[in-house]
């Protein structure tokens, strides 16, 4: 390193100490102030409500976290949790229908017609074409009949008309989150809407929505080079665990999911004990809690369903994926690591921060600035989920003229350094300072805060872990980093994936030459 | 702590979203706004309309009490004698200070032969550092304090911004001012920036959505327009250190706007900022641009991409300027066409037909030049023609299919009831004031705009649709997998599709054989 570095480090060390003192004080104060304005109530059906008062403006944000995601999709039904999430926007027996009693009968006919069609379609050989055509006619007629009772998108329209902002949902492998923000005088309206859709989902317009999800798959996976690569990367890294399964669903599976299956998923997983609802903003826990309790008690009770029990076996063979196509080159590699409840979780965060946080990070300085072989280089962890044992990944985009092989070697050199030489005091302090500042910065955003509170409550059983996490951060040592790096960054624990543009070009040339 | 905030593309990969990904021209929604108490009071009286029902629906029986009193805090505006404007917005909730200097002039003002100059400048300015402290040293210092100083470039401006804990704010401010007035552009950092830009150029045909966005802008504004032209390997190579310095010296003479928010005392901060900027010479005003565009040549345009199974369809034309007196009505019209789940495009193309996940768009509004009209649909190759027709049908329907009271009420409710979110933080109010100052709009613009939205009638929307929606003037761009598109694009009955060549020119200006230039 040039000597300028040591000079500037003396200056920055003083500042680090200063920042440390201030931030620690703020951390303690903040947890205390947060405890004063945060109320947790577990309802009799098991549902957890968290209310965090923040009276800066007359608005609130919420996150509903259902602790079930695509990792919980039954075998052969990948994409089910996500498919259900789409259904949760279709309304209830009260909203989105002109006559639910009639609609219910019509929907049962749709389901029967779909079963008959798919029964034929799934026969070996793909079924009899003539029969299929007839069955499809019956199915389409049943669908048209059921649509007579539908007021399309009424649920979301009522929300948007009442000022819902950022209305959306996300289904991850681990869990499903629903969220939006609203003016505070719509709190009761929201409580009615949210509790209704959790408790009283109707499998309305299911089969058209399945087509929409197939389009979503084309957009995010099939027509996107990175989407394709990541799907293959995970499918290769995991042999037993559902983290290796496409979370939007394999085409043949997601295209065959039925409304009956989606409703069975709902019945099993959308129970009080599996749901956390966090509300942040201009609300008053004392006066609003009875109202919230009234509405959210409508969610069916029930204990938390058991988690997926498959454990990914230890990897003993290095694996790699090579995609040859016209896309520009890319390289990624991942190593199995434990889930976030592991005592070393903060050590993984420290490694990721030191390797890739900003222009001072090791990967940026080495691959981007000094060697000039990559446009971007970083690590991230845990991926693709955090509830179960997951991956620690490194990736880089090579500069024109440089190959994935060069990238791999350069990343391995940096990993080797982590294993053999202690990180510096300054690097470790930077990580700790940033961790504290990031926590603080996040406190001024209602929606971000609602997400964090719900997530920490679901993962650790206590939202306070959001602050207590800093104690784990403080305890990380240089020796921890070396120990963990030596444990997991080994070849037999590695899966890599790359896009190989050059070979593709060569193959095309060869093919042309042969013609 | 970092478990929930990983890099976006990986999160996107694992978290499919239910709503449309892009809603290009949706009203004012994402833009922060200042406001007076009157907005808040009004917002609470916009009743949800729902559908005409004999007996009230259950949700309509839920009381909506008046909104809590709200006094959005406007920043303090200080205009210096030299023309420089400062906004100070105190906010003591958390111990941070954020600041930025917005500088006039952006990529639309760079020489065509040096396209990409602003992109390079905005990187190399920060990474080069100052005469006293080079960029790497600055990185180390800032990182150790969890602070940031960054530079950025845009189509009409560049900016220097900083943020830090309150305890470090004095030192970080001095450092930021040093970078503002004494940057030291380095050859090495320029080269680094050039390499990064070259990578972006070489990779620009990998992403279907990126191609569609870029090429549709060229159709609307013209290939060589400052709003559509793209940097090439040759134009970024042409940029020198002297260009960066000259750009910096020239733009710094313009009217700077400084905005600072966070945990500070305004009187002390004002003295500090005055001390830095008061001594500068009077700002120079560059002549305003007068950009006029003919709009696209109508027809169908096609870009073949063999590795996709979904077409990206863009139906594009010319949009308007925000200063247009019809702006408020157009925003309501956009909400009816493509704003959210209740819009015509969403209801038809996604919900009724199941032909798309991402669909939306409308007549865009820009502050100081015509925006584009843009409706986007992403659909599987085989349904390209059906989905395009469905979207065209809804665009044409704006003129032929009468608007209903329920549609109007929904659109106005969507806009007015979520208006609060344009000024629910002090930071957003500050950002909006800076924006209005930059474009020379009155400080009470949003109040006027809010009042105008409230007054929009069915007759207004009908008249504005007739005036601005001209389906025959629109161009259709399809990026997709040619052999899979069946029926093919001739079925649109708009003439044979015009192919667009997106081959990336080599750095010597010639066309390379493959897609990977060099």
The full 3-state SS of A195-258, as one line of letters, equals HHHHHCCCCCCHHHHHHHHHHHHHHHHHCCHHHHHHHHHHHHHCCCCHHHCCCCCCHHHHCCCC
- Whether residues B13 and A469 touch (CB distance < 8 A) is answered with no
- Choose from A61, A85, A215 for mutation: most chain B CBs within 10 A: A215
Residue of B nearest to A164 (CA): B418
> What is the distance of C-alpha A388 from the center of its chain?
13
Tokens of B292: 């006029």
Q: Is B18's CB within 8 Å of A89's CB?
A: yes
Residues of B in contact with A193 (CB under 8 A): 59
State which fold the B76-278 domain adopts.
Cytochrome Bc1 Complex; Chain A, domain 1 (3.30.830)
Q: Are residues A292 and A346 both part of a single domain? A: no
Question: In chain A, which residue's Cα lies nearest the Cα of B190?
Answer: A369
Question: Taking CB atoms and an 8 Å limit, are B59 and A185 in contact across chains?
Answer: no
Closest CB to B357: pick one of A216, A359, A451. A216
Confidence of residue B169 (pLDDT cuts 50, 70, 90): very high
Is A199 inside any structural domain? yes
Please report residues of B whose CB lies closer than 8 A to that of A160: 340-342, 410, 413-414, 418
pLDDT reported for residue B344: 97
Helix or strand holding residue B96 (H, E): strand B96-104
Please identify which residue in the block is written with the tokens 């193309």.
B349
Calculate helix-pair angle for B405-417, B327-338, nearest 10 degrees: 110
Q: Which of B15, B200, B346 sits opposite A171 (nearest CB)?
A: B15
Between chains, do B341 and A433 touch, taking CB under 8 Å as contact? Answer: no
Who contacts A140 (Cβ-Cβ below 8 Å, separation ≥6)? none
Nearest by CB to residue A170, choosing from B17, B196, B409, is: B17
Q: What is the pLDDT of residues B72-129, one digit of tens each?
A: 999 999 999 999 999 999 999 999 999 999 999 999 999 999 999 999 999 999 999 9
Contact A258, A113 (CB under 8 A): no
Residues of B in contact with A66 (CB under 8 A): none
| Contact (CB<8Å) B418/A225 | no
| A384 in the same domain as A332 | yes
For B64, the closest of A12, A189, A440 (CB atoms) is A189
Residue at A217 is within a domain: yes
Task: Find chain A residues with C-beta within 8 A of B134's C-beta.
Answer: 4
Question: Residue A480 is part of which domain span?
Answer: 319-506
* A228 Cα to chain B: minimum distance (Å): 10
Q: Are residues A401 and A254 in the same domain?
A: no
Residues A185 and A332 in one domain: no
| A359 and A293 in a common domain | no
In A, minimum Cα distance to B143 occurs at A430
Q: For residue A19, give the chain B residue with the closest CA.
A: B145
B79/chain A closest Cα distance in angstroms: 28
Residue of B nearest to A229 (CA): B13
Q: Binning pLDDT at 50, 70 and 90, where does residue B30 land?
A: very low
Verify whether the Cβ–Cβ distance B145 to A16 is below 8 Å: yes
- Whether B41 shows a pLDDT value over 60: the answer reads no
Domain co-membership, A339 together with A416:
yes
pLDDT at B49: 43
What's the confidence (pLDDT) of residue B290? 83
For B307, which of A189, A325, A386 is closest by C-beta distance? A325
- Which pLDDT band, with edges at 50, 70 and 90, does B509 fall under? low
Residues of chain B positioned with their CB less than 8 A from the CB of A254: none
Distance from CA of B440 to the nearest CA of A (A): 28
Of A226, A426, A505, the CB nearest to B514: A505
- Domains of chain B, residue spans: 76-278, 299-499
Tell me the average pLDDT of chain B. Answer: 88
Among partner residues A218, A378, A433, which is closest to B146 by beta-carbon distance?
A: A433
Could you give the C-alpha distances from A6 to A1, A369, B100, B208, in angstroms and in order? 9, 19, 30, 46
Q: Enter the tokens of residue B374.
A: 């843009």
Domain CATH for A210:
3.30.830.10
Give the total residue count for chain A. Answer: 515
Residue-level pLDDT at B264: 97
**What is the percent of chain B with per-residue pLDDT over 90, rounded to a whole number?**
84
| B58: chain A residues, CB-CB within 8 Å | 94-95, 192
Neighbour count for residue A137 (Cβ, 10 Å): 12
Residues A287 and A372 in one domain: no
* First vs last C-alpha separation in chain B: 42
Backbone φ and ψ for B70, nearest 5 degrees, come out as -140, 130
Measured between CB atoms, which of B50, B133, B199 is closest to A397?
A: B199
Q: How close, in Å, is residue B467 to chain A by CA atoms?
A: 27
Say whether both A182 and A53 belong to one domain: yes
Beta strands (DSSP E) in A263-373 are: 275-281, 319-323, 330-337
The rounded distance, in Å, linking the Cα atoms of B169 and A489 is 40
Assess if residue A513 is contained within a domain. Answer: no
What does pTM read for this prediction?
0.90
Residue A181 zone, left/alpha/beta (φ > 0; ψ -120 to 50; rest)? beta
Predicted confidence (pLDDT) per residue in B252-297, tens digit: 999 999 999 999 999 999 999 999 999 999 999 988 888 889 999 9
How many domains is chain A partitioned into structurally?
Answer: 2
User: Is there a domain that residue A4 lies in?
Assistant: no
- Residues A216 and A163 occupy one common structural domain: yes
Q: Is residue A267 part of a domain?
A: yes
Ranges of residues in chain A whose predicted pLDDT is under 70? 1-29, 502-515
Report if residue A364 sits inside a domain: yes
Which residues in chain B have their CB less than 8 angstroms from residue A452's CB?
Answer: 4
On the question of a common fold for B76-278 and B299-499, the answer reads yes
Q: Are B33 and B429 in contact (CB under 8 A)?
A: yes
Tell me whether residues A22 and B95 touch, CB distance under 8 A.
Answer: yes
Percent of chain B exceeding pLDDT 70 equals 88
Residues from chain B contacting residue A23 (CB–CB below 8 Å): 165
ipTM of the complex: 0.90
Residue B298 has pLDDT above 50, yes or no: yes
Contact B307 A170 (CB under 8 A): no
The encoded tokens of residue A493 equal: 């624990």
* Distance in angstroms (rounded) separating the CA atoms of residues B296 and B471: 12
Count how many pairs of residues, chain A against chain B, have C-beta atoms within 8 Å: 327
The answer to whether residue B7 scores a pLDDT higher than 90 is no
B342–A153: do the CB atoms touch at under 8 Å? yes
- Answer whether residue A494 is part of any domain: yes
User: pLDDT digit string (tens) for B379-390?
Assistant: 999 999 999 999
Measured in angstroms, the CA of B379 and the nearest CA of chain A are apart by 6
CB B57 within 8 A of CB B230: no
Cβ distance B145 to A158 less than 8 Å, yes or no, reads no
Domain assignment of residue A512, yes or no: no
Distance from the Cα of A119 to chain B's closest Cα (Å) equals 23
CATH of B299-499, picked from 3.40.50.300, 3.30.2130.10, 3.40.50.1220, 3.30.830.10, is 3.30.830.10
3-class SS of residue B500: coil
Given an 8 Å threshold on Cβ–Cβ distance, is A397 in contact with B203? yes
What confidence tier does B40 reach under pLDDT thresholds 50, 70, 90? very low
Nearest CA distance, A367 vs chain B (angstrom): 12
Task: Verify that A357 and A291 share a domain, yes or no.
Answer: no
Query: What is the per-residue pLDDT for A308?
Result: 86
Q: Which residue of B has its CA nearest to A375?
A: B196
Write the pLDDT tens digit of every residue in B230-240.
999 999 999 99
How far off is chain B from A317, nearest CA to CA, in Å?
25
Residues 6 or more apart whose CB falls under 8 angstroms from that of B24 comprise B360, B361, B362, B364, B374, B376
Q: Are B96 and A440 in contact (CB under 8 A)?
A: yes
Give yes or no for residue B470 having a pLDDT over 80: yes
Asked if B1's CB is within 8 angstroms of A205's CB, the reply is no
Model pLDDT, residue B15? 31
- What's the pLDDT tens digit per position in B52-65? 446 789 999 999 99
User: Is there a single domain that holds both residue A288 and residue A334?
Assistant: no
């Amino acid at each position: 390193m040039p000597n300028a570095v040591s000079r500037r480090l003396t200056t920055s060390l003083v500042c680090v100490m200063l920042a440390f003192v201030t931030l620690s004080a703020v951390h303690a104060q903040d947890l205390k102030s947060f405890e004063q304005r945060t109320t947790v109530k577990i309802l009799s059906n098991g549902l957890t409500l968290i209310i965090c008062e923040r009276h800066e403006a007359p608005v609130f944000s919420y996150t509903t976290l259902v602790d079930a995601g695509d990792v919980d999709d039954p075998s052969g039904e990948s994409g089910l949790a996500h498919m259900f999430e789409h259904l949760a926007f279709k309304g209830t027996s009260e909203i989105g229908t002109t006559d639910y009693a009639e609609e219910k009968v019509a929907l049962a006919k749709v389901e029967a017609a779909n079963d008959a069609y798919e029964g034929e379609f799934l026969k070996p050989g793909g079924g009899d074409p003539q029969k299929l055509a007839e069955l499809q006619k019956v199915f389409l007629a049943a669908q048209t009949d059921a649509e007579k009772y539908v007021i399309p998108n009424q649920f979301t329209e009522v929300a948007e008309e009442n000022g819902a902002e950022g209305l959306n949902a996300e289904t991850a492998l681990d869990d499903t989150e629903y969220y939006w923000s609203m003016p505070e005088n719509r709190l009761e309206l929201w409580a009615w809407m949210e509790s209704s859709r959790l408790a009283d989902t109707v499998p309305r317009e299911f089969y058209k929505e399945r087509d929409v999800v197939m389009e979503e798959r084309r957009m995010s996976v099939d027509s996107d080079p990175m989407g394709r690569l990541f799907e293959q990367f995970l499918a290769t890294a995991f042999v037993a665990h559902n983290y290796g399964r496409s979370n939007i669903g394999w085409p043949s599976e997601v295209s065959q999911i039925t409304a009956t299956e989606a409703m069975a998923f709902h019945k099993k997983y959308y129970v009080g004990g599996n749901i956390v609802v966090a509300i942040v903003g201009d609300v008053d826990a004392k006066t609003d809690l009875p109202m919230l309790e009234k509405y959210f008690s409508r969610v069916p009770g029930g204990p938390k369903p058991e988690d997926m029990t498959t454990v990914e076996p230890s990897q003993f063979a290095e694996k790699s994926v090579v995609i040859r196509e016209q896309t520009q080159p890319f390289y990624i590699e991942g190593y199995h690591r434990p889930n976030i409840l592991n005592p070393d979780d903060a050590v993984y965060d420290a490694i990721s921060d030191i390797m890739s946080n900003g222009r001072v990070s090791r990967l940026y300085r080495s691959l981007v600035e000094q060697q000039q072989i990559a446009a971007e280089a970083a690590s991230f962890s845990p991926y693709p989920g955090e509830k179960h044992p997951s991956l620690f990944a490194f990736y880089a985009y090579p500069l024109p003229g440089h190959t994935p092989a060069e990238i791999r070697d350069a990343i391995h050199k940096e990993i080797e350094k982590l294993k053999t030489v202690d990180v510096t005091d300054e690097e470790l302090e930077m990580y700790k300072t940033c961790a504290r500042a990031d926590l603080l910065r996040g406190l001024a955003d209602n929606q971000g805060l609602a997400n964090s509170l719900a997530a920490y409550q679901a993962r650790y059983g206590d939202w306070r872990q959001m602050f207590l996490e800093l104690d784990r951060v403080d305890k990380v040592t240089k020796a921890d980093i070396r120990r963990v790096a030596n444990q997991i960054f080994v070849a037999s624990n590695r899966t890599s994936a790359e896009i190989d543009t050059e070979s593709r070009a060569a193959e095309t040339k060869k093919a042309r030459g042969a013609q | 702590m970092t478990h929930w905030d990983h890099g976006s593309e990986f999160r996107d990969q694992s978290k499919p979203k239910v709503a449309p990904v892009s809603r290009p021209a949706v009203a004012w929604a994402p833009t922060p706004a200042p406001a007076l108490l009157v907005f808040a009071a009004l917002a609470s009286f916009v009743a949800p309309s729902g559908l005409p029902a004999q007996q009230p629906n259950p949700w309509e029986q839920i009381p909506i009490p008046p909104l809590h009193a709200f006094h959005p805090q406007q920043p303090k505006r200080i205009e210096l004698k030299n023309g420089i404007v400062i906004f100070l917005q105190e906010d003591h909730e958390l111990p941070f200070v954020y600041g930025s200097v917005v500088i006039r002039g952006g990529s639309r003002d760079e020489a065509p032969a040096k396209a990409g100059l602003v992109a390079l400048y905005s990187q190399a300015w920060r990474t080069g550092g100052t005469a006293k402290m080079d960029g790497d040293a600055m990185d180390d210092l800032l990182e150790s304090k969890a602070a940031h100083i960054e530079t950025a470039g845009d189509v009409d401006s560049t900016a220097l911004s900083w943020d830090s804990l309150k305890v470090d704010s004095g030192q970080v401010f001095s450092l930021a001012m040093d970078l503002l007035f004494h940057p030291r552009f380095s050859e090495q950092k320029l080269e680094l920036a050039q390499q990064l830009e070259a990578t972006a150029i070489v990779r620009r045909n990998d992403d279907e959505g990126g191609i569609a966005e870029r090429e549709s802008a060229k159709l609307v504004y013209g290939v060589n327009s400052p709003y559509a032209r793209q940097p090439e390997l040759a134009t970024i190579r042409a940029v020198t250190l002297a260009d960066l310095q000259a750009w910096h010296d020239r733009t710094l003479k313009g009217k700077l706007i400084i905005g600072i928010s966070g945990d500070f005392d305004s009187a002390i901060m004002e003295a500090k900022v005055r001390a830095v900027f008061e001594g500068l010479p009077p700002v120079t005003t560059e002549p305003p641009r007068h950009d006029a565009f003919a709009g696209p040549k109508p027809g169908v345009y096609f870009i073949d991409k063999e590795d996709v199974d979904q077409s990206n369809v863009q139906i594009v034309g010319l949009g308007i300027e925000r200063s247009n007196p019809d702006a408020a009505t157009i925003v309501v019209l956009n909400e009816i066409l493509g704003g959210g789940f209740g819009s015509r495009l969403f209801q038809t193309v996604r919900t009724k037909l199941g032909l798309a996940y991402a669909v939306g768009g409308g007549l865009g509004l820009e502050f100081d030049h015509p925006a584009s009209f843009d409706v986007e649909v992403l659909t599987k190759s085989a349904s390209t023609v059906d989905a395009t027709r469905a979207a065209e049908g809804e665009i044409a329907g704006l003129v032929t299919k009468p608007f209903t009271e329920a549609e109007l009420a929904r659109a106005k409710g969507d806009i007015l009831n979520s208006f609060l979110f344009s000024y629910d933080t002090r930071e957003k109010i500050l950002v909006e004031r800076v924006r209005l100052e930059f474009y020379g709009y009155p400080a009470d613009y949003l109040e006027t705009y809010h009042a105008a939205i409230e007054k929009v009638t069915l007759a207004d929307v009908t008249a504005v649709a007739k005036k601005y929606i001209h389906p025959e003037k629109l161009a259709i761009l399809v990026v997709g997998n040619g052999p899979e598109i069946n029926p093919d694009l001739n079925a649109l009955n708009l003439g044979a599709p015009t192919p667009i060549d997106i081959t990336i020119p080599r750095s010597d200006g010639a066309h390379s054989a493959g897609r990977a230039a060099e």
